[in-house]
Amino acid sequence: MNFKLFGSALILSGTALGAGMLAIPMVLAQFGLFYSTLLMLAICAGTTYSALLLTEACSKTELAFGINTVANRTLGKGGQVVTNILFYLLLFCMLIAYILGAADLIKRIFSMFTIEMSIETAQIGFTLVASVFVVCGTQIIDKLNRVLFLFMVSMLAITLVILVPGISVDNLTQVTNTDKGMLLNTSTILFTSFASMPVIPSLVAYNKEATSKQLRNMVILGSIIPLVCYLVWLYAVVGNLNANDITHFSNISDLIQTFSAKNEYIEIILSVFTSLALLTSFLGVAMALYNQNKDMISHNKIVVYVCTFILPLLGASLAADQFLSVLGYAGVILVFLAIFIPLAMVIALRKKVKEEDKLLPHTYQAEGGKIALGVTLMFGLLLLISQI
């Protein structure tokens, strides 16, 4: 087994997992599990292929450590400017959402030990501690993420062992909202929950010796793991709680508080589990933004640090109690960045690629040809229409 590639797949998974662990039950429970599952499968398929397109663009762009360089060499100066604006908006929204969620959890964990902490202190403490690992580089994040991810999956397994006996068939089959338009309107939040594309440029550069098949398998594995985790989590939550109650949660603490009444141990287990999910997501997204800032702004570590961590921290202080709203904004931005931009990059690259380049072992090309590109374009347009 190639542990470097496996670790990279876990970084992809860890980046996707996080805010979605709370957001998915909150937005999908009311529509019933059948249609919710179908929508989640469709979103996962679309995001996975879009990630493969970005992997192709990065693998065919030599010495590209950030999406800034990839955009410049594929779309020119104008495309580079548009891509960078979207990329920064996306990463800022995602980091703000993760800081908000993590701070809420940290405050709750400390309150279990009768230690009162302000939400601002929790936000600053989480950001400063997590940023240390990001500054150390991709290799450190890779090794740390393997440990965190395996621990997180263990916590999820323990949580399921506790929750499965309490699953009610009535809860699993309940549908409190039959409006399919509202269901589709949740698609951008789901799309954000599978958002691992920000780390792909860094991971392709990190695995520059990998073959095209290995790069493809890395992306697919990194997409399947969040899908499985989200599905079992959704079924466990919906099976134990009333759909109307779930839709009224405003933060992670509400969910944990409700479950804590069912089992005295689940409060701390869920707190640890959701904290790890948010931490792995934060590390992946912050790594992408940190490398992007080094690639585009400056190699001065202080300047890069301020742009990567301090600005999102300030944004989090201004966006209190706006967890789902921030995720929704990120989802709309992500449609452009994760679908239309990789599509444009790949089309531009395939027009000028030489025949001998197709034989290079470290250059990946997404399967499906023009038909798959057309379906991906329709997928992106449908996501945008769902918001209108």
Average confidence (pLDDT) over 115-119 = 85
Helix (H, G, I), strand (E, B) or coil at 196: coil
Taking Cα atoms as reference points, which of 47, 120, 65 lies closest to residue 380?
47
Average confidence (pLDDT) over 107-120 = 83
Task: Please spell the DSSP secondary structure of 62-104, one letter per residue.
Answer: TT--SHHHHHHHHHHHHHHHHHHHHHHHHHHHHHHHHHHHHHH
Answer whether 15's CB lies under 8 Å from 284's CB.
yes
Q: For 132-176, write each residue's pLDDT tens digit.
A: 989 888 788 888 888 888 888 888 888 888 888 888 888 888 888
Query: How far apart are the C-alpha atoms of 132 and 204, rounded to whole Å?
Result: 23
Whether the per-residue pLDDT at 382 is higher than 70: the answer is yes
Mean pLDDT taken over the chain = 83
Q: For 309-328, write each residue's pLDDT tens digit.
A: 998 888 888 776 665 566 66
Query: How far apart are the C-alpha atoms of 327 and 97, rounded to whole Å?
Result: 7
Q: Which residues span the domain enclosing 336?
A: 3-387
Predicted model pTM: 0.83
Query: How far apart are the C-alpha atoms of 324 and 332, rounded to whole Å?
Result: 13
CB atoms within 10 A of CB 76: 11
Q: CATH no. for residue 239?
A: 1.20.1740.10
Helix, strand and coil in the chain, % to nearest 5: 80, 0, 20
Taking Cα atoms as reference points, which of 99, 78, 81, 100 lies closest to residue 89?
81
CB atoms within 10 A of CB 369: 10
Q: Which residues contact 261 (CB under 8 A, 6 or more apart)?
A: none
Q: How many domains does the chain have?
A: 1
Average confidence (pLDDT) over 303-307 = 87
Give the distance between the most distant pair of CA atoms in the chain. 66
Task: Please spell the DSSP secondary structure of 327-388, one letter per residue.
Answer: HHHHHHHHHIIIIIHHHHHHHHHHHH--GGGGG-TT----TTHHHHHHHHHHHHHHHHHHH-
